[in-house]
Amino acid sequence: MKKMKELIVSAIDSGTVIDHIPAKSVMQVVRILGLEDFENTILIGTNFDSKKLEKKGIIKVKGKFFKPEIINKIALVAPQATLTIIENYDVKDKTVVEVPEDIIGLVKCANPKCISNHEEITTEFKVVNKTNGLKLKCHFCEKTFGQEDMRIV
Ligand SMILES: [Zn+2]
């Protein structure tokens, strides 16, 4: 089975592999990282069977290494994602994404009455819960909402 996965999403010589993305969040990760505009080779695989998740996706970006503050943004939609840095077909480093303390921009407030939904201001949230599903507290209306109500800008 392992062999087959490797065939579907082939290896890259150097770059970043983002694994353990919930299958439903793969396209959101693509958007958050701005991969639509990349000219590097990108391999995207999804709906693989996973022990940790129901179905998972993998993204491999050839010749690209992301800054932690960029990569941690994907924790919003893929809190269990792992990040592997590949150099010369070797694993250089493997880490798990970290949910940031504050989220600036990126997410829309779930409260329709919130000022941030009516004026041109950058949204701002405090992460008040990281385990058992993310919970964000809006800086402007002080409402707290969970992952299911999160809308990525
Ligand atoms: Zn709000």
Q: Residue 138 C-alpha to ligand 1 middle, in angstroms?
A: 5
Determine if the pTM surpasses 0.75. yes
Q: Which segments in the chain show pLDDT lower than 50?
A: 1, 4-8
Q: Residue 119 C-alpha to ligand 1 middle, in angstroms?
A: 11
Per-residue 3-state assignment (H helix, E strand, C coil) for the chain: CHHHHHHHCCCCCCEEEEEEEEHHHHHHHHHHCCHHHCCCCEEEEEEEECCCCCEEEEEEEECCCCCHHHHHHHHHCCCCCEEEEEECCEEEEEEECCCCCEEECCEECCCCCCHHHCCCCCCEEEEEECCCCCEEEECCCCCEEEHHHCEEC
Q: What is the pLDDT of residue 7?
A: 46
Q: Residue 148 C-alpha to ligand 1 middle, in angstroms?
A: 15
